[in-house]
Amino acid sequence: MGSTRKRIALFLPTLAGGGVERGMVSLAQGFAERGYSVDLVLSKAEGPYLSKVPRKVRLVDLRASRVLTSLPGLVRYLKQTRPAVMLSAAEHTNVVALWARRLSKVPTRVIVNVCTTVSQNFQRTSLIRERCLPFFAYCFYPWADEIVAVSYGVADDLSRFIGLSRQRIRVIYDPVVTPSLLSLAHAPLDHSWFSPENSPVILGVGRLTVEKDFPTLVRAFACIRARRPVRLVILGEGRERSRIELLIRELGVDSDVSLPGFVANPYAYMARAAVFVLSSIWEGLPGVVIEAMACGTPVVCTNCPSGPAEILENGKYGRLVPTENVDALAEAISSTLDTRSNPEFLRQRASVFTVENSLDQYLKLFRV
């Protein structure tokens, strides 16, 4: 048990509906259950996961319009509260956390978590602020007490791309599999497509953003749908929704595709899907793949940087295909639909990525 006098802070922009936010809430709950005082510090307290913050965790709202403008508030928080350690996640947030510790002149240990493949973000964005991030990481990440990557692929990429010593980067997998996941997987699901007598359902889950590349999944689905009865459900919300909806109409598959948006319990969908598909161009460690495996659902993934090959052990636990390849994805999905799966085999692999494993490794790093 940790001492209640030891305070752990977790710093995020918001609690938007993504894997990073879900993971940080799980860590906050886990640290609190082990007896630590925990603050979840947000640039702005908004997002669907606010309702998931446990009562034992103190929510600190810096009331800023963006991450950068939360710097003064974070400095004040550090001076007043002086937590033993602060964990931040996501690139902009990490830089602000390091600046705040330097300006506040407190002895708080700062751990930065790198959760995406930095080189891919740089190469595929036209936003100036995004293209500046590798430079900021090169300049300021050395200020961190510890640098954590969510996968070995992310760690290797970060080291190569910004010239950081690989020995400085530790790998801790995200806290994906929670004690409540299986109970939520068996919760009732109010969606008629998932009844046993209906056509099999292909499932995708994630923010509707460019890097998730759902258009490739939609095109692959259209190829499969031309040959057999099947349906597609994509859970998530994002700025690419209108583009995806237009493509669905153009391909003439709108009667067999459903985009329900963000849902509080995706596990009930995962447990009932015939196959889960990740179509991303790049990732860090795609937790949705692990969650689907924990539900016993077969998976098909693009072999994108980084994470899928690590999770699936280079194809041992599910098919891997090249990114942005419609034909290869369609073939892999069809083959998976035609192959009898072993749910327990998948669950066993998913058990590596539990909250308890992540908590143990972070607490060793925190030295609290």
pLDDT digits (tens, 9 = 90+) for 145-176: 999 999 999 999 999 998 999 999 999 999 99
The C-alpha torsion from 101 through 104 and 105 to 111, rounded to 10°, is: -10
Pick the CATH number of 7-171 from 3.40.50.720, 3.40.30.10, 3.40.50.2000, 3.30.360.10: 3.40.50.2000
- Residue 32 reports pLDDT greater than 60: yes
State the Cα–Cα distance between residues 301 and 275, nearest whole angstrom. Answer: 11
Question: Maximum distance among all alpha carbons in the chain?
Answer: 64
Q: Is the pLDDT of residue 262 over 60?
A: yes
Averaged pLDDT for residues 301-309: 96
Instruction: Report pLDDT for 133.
Output: 76
Residue 361: the pLDDT is: 97
Whether pLDDT at 344 is above 80: yes
HSE-CB at 108 with a 13 A cutoff on CA atoms is 32
How far apart are alpha carbons 173 and 184 in whole angstroms?
22
The Cα 174–Cα 24 span in angstroms is: 9
Question: What is the total residue count of the chain?
Answer: 368
Q: Is the pLDDT of residue 1 over 80?
A: no
Q: How confident is the model at residue 118 (pLDDT cuts 50, 70, 90)?
A: confident
Q: How confident is the model at residue 4 (pLDDT cuts 50, 70, 90)?
A: very low
pTM summary value: 0.90
Mean pLDDT of the chain: 94
Confidence of residue 179 (pLDDT cuts 50, 70, 90): confident
End-to-end, the C-alpha distance of the chain in Å comes to 11
- Beta strand 85-89 with 109-114 is parallel
Confidence class of residue 208 from pLDDT cuts 50, 70 and 90? very high
**Structure confidence at residue 129 (pLDDT):** 67
User: Domain 181-352 has what CATH class?
Assistant: alpha beta
Distance CA 117, CA 127 (A): 16
Q: pLDDT tens across 58-68, in order?
A: 999 999 999 99
> For the segment 36-78, what is each residue's pLDDT rounded down to a tens digit?
999 999 999 999 999 999 999 999 999 999 999 999 999 999 9
* pLDDT value at residue 5: 63
Lowest mean pLDDT among 86-90, 125-129, 186-190, 302-306: 125-129
What share of the chain has pLDDT > 70, as a percent?
Answer: 96
Tell me the pLDDT band of 2, cut-offs 50, 70 and 90. very low
Q: Assign 110 a pLDDT band (cuts: 50, 70, 90).
A: very high
Nearest CA to 234 out of 254, 298, 50 is that of 254
Cα separation, 10 vs 28, in Å, equals 7
Domains 7-171 and 181-352 are alike in CATH topology: yes
pLDDT band at 104; cut points 50, 70, 90: very high
Task: Evaluate if residue 100 carries a pLDDT over 70.
Answer: yes
Interatomic CA distance for residues 143 and 65, integer angstroms: 26
* Domain boundaries defined on the chain: 7-171, 181-352
Q: How many CA atoms lie within 13 A of 365 on its CB side?
A: 26
